[in-house]
Structure 1
C-alpha cells in the first residue's frame, strides 16, 4: 500500500514534547490487525500498512503476544520510531481511562481490563488505547475528509457493525455507540451496517433508503456540520452516497484502510506527558 501524504500538518500542543513525532499505530479488528509507523506531523505512513490475523480466541494474552511481534517487527525497520515513543492501539471496545468497558468482536476477557496498563507492562513500553471508531474519527478530522473545517463532525463506519465518532471543534467526544440507536425496532447496525446489505441481498437503492433514515435520525439528534462515511463499503460510495438527501454534507472518508492506524498513533502522540519545567 502506498504511503498517504495528507496536505495538512499538525502542530504540537503548547508545552508538549515534539521529540517523538513517529509512533506505531495498531488497529485491532475482529479478524485482522493492521499496523504501521506514522509520522504524526502530517499523518503520513512511513512504513506500508501490514496485516496479520487477530488471534483466535482473541484473549488479552494472545493479542498482547501478537502486539509484541508487531512492535518487534517495526522496531527492526529503518523507519523504526524511537524506543521511548509510545504505541497507539485501537480496539473494538468502549475505552474509559484505558479500561475496556465493552468487547465487540473480541474475547469477553477484555471486559474490565486496564488495557493501557496491561499492554504497557507486556510490551515494555508506554501504550495508549482508544476505541477503534474514535481513532478513525481523530485521523479523518486531523488529516482526512474533515481537516478543512471546525464545528461538529460525525464519522460513521459501515462494516460488520456500525462505528461512530463525534468530534466537536477538534475535540473528541469518546465512546459514542450510535450503531445501537433504534431503527425499525432493532439496533441500527442490524438494519444499516454494510453486512446487512449483503445478508439481506439488498440492492443499492434499498440499502441507501435505510441509510438515509438512519443518518437523518442522527442529523436530527446531533446537528452535525459534516458527516463522514467510512468502512470498507466506502470504496463503493458512488453507489449510495448520491442517493442520500440530507441537509448536512455527507462525504466519503479519505484515509480508508489506514484511518484506525493513523488515529491510534495520533492518540499516542496527544497523550504524551508535558515536558517538565
Structure 2
C-alpha cells in the first residue's frame, strides 16, 4: 500500500503543512497558519491540529526550529527554549493526530530533500534565525546548532544574519555581512556543496560560488518522505 506522508514545517512565524506520496510528489499543497504566540507545546499542537484537519495521511514528518535529537526537542531559540526543554514532539504529534511521527530540525528536513548524495554537503537556512544541516554521501549527520555559535563581534549567527539583523541593517549591509559569513563557513567546514534556503535566501544580491545553490521549500519538498528512509 502506498503511504502518504504529512510534512509539517514549523517556523518562527508560520506553520506549514502538505501531504506527499512515496515519490515525494505533492498530494495536497502547502497551507499555513501563523505560529502561535506564545509557542508552547500545547499551543503549537492546537495550531497543527487546526491546520491539518481534513488531510489524509499515514505518517508524519515534522521540521522544528531548534536542537532535536531522537525526536526530542531540547532547545527552541526562536520559539522559547523554556517551553521546549526535553519535549518529545513526535510523541505529542502521534497522540494528537493518531499516526506515527518523526521530528528533526527544520534545516535537516529541507536538506534531506535538496542533497545530491555526493560527498560532504551543507544546508543553511536564512529566516527568523540561522539553521544548518550536514550530510555525508546522502546520510544525515548529527545536528549542530551552529546558529547559536559566536560568529562576528561576539554575536551568534542568529544575531548576525537572522531576521532581526536584516530589519536593522537593511538589505545592502545584510548582504555584506552574509558574504563574510559564507567565507567563514567555507573555511570552517570545507563542504563540497552548500545549499542556501529559507525565506531570506531570495534577498541575496551578490554572486555565489559554483559550489553554492539557492533552494526553495519546493526544491526540498520530499525531505519529509526521505526522513522515513534514513
- If the length of structure 2 is used for normalisation, what is the TM-score? 0.88
2:16 is paired with a residue whose SS is strand
Partner of 1:163: 131
RMSD: 2.2
1:148-183 alpha-carbon deviations (Å, 9 max, x no partner): x50111111112211111111101113222223322
Structure-to-structure mapping, 1:107-118, within 5 angstroms: 107=80, 108-118=82-92
Q: CA deviation at 1:249?
A: 1.4
Partner of 2:75: 102
Structure with the bigger percentage of strand: 2
Partner of 1:264: 224
Structure-to-structure mapping, 1:120-131, within 5 angstroms: 120-131=94-105
1:236-269 alpha-carbon deviations (Å, 9 max, x no partner): 34x12x1x5x5x611111xx234676423432x3
Structure-to-structure mapping, 1:28-107, within 5 angstroms: 28-41=10-23, 43-75=24-56, 81=57, 85-107=58-80
Q: CA deviation at 1:195?
A: 4.1
Higher relative contact order (CA 8 A, sep 6+): 1
Quote the Cα distance in structure 2 between the aligned partners of 1:201 and 1:117.
Answer: 41
Partner of 1:15: none
Quote the Cα distance in structure 2 between the aligned partners of 1:151 and 1:187.
Answer: 28
Residues 197, 217 of structure 2: 8 Å contact kept: no
1:209 is paired with a residue whose SS is helix
1:209 aligns with 2:176: yes
The number of residue pairs the alignment matches comes to 228
Larger Rg: 1
- If the length of structure 1 is used for normalisation, what is the TM-score? 0.74
Distance change >3 Å, CA 103–CA 197, structure 1 → 2 = closer
1:251 aligns with 2:220: no
Quote the Cα distance in structure 1 between the aligned partners of 2:166 and 2:50.
Answer: 36
2:217 is paired with a residue whose SS is helix
Partner of 2:191: 224
Quote the Cα distance in structure 1 between the aligned partners of 2:196 and 2:65.
Answer: 18
Distance change >3 Å, CA 208–CA 45, structure 1 → 2 = same
Listed as ranges, the gaps of 5+ residues in structure 2 are none
1:197 aligns with 2:166: yes
1:197-216 alpha-carbon deviations (Å, 9 max, x no partner): 3312251xx43332222122
Quote the Cα distance in structure 2 between the aligned partners of 1:98 and 1:86.
Answer: 14
Match of 2:118 among 150, 163, 179: 150
Listed as ranges, the gaps of 5+ residues in structure 1 are 1-18, 76-80, 142-146, 272-277
Distance change >3 Å, CA 202–CA 25, structure 1 → 2 = closer
Residues 35, 261 of structure 1: 8 Å contact kept: no
Partner of 1:7: none
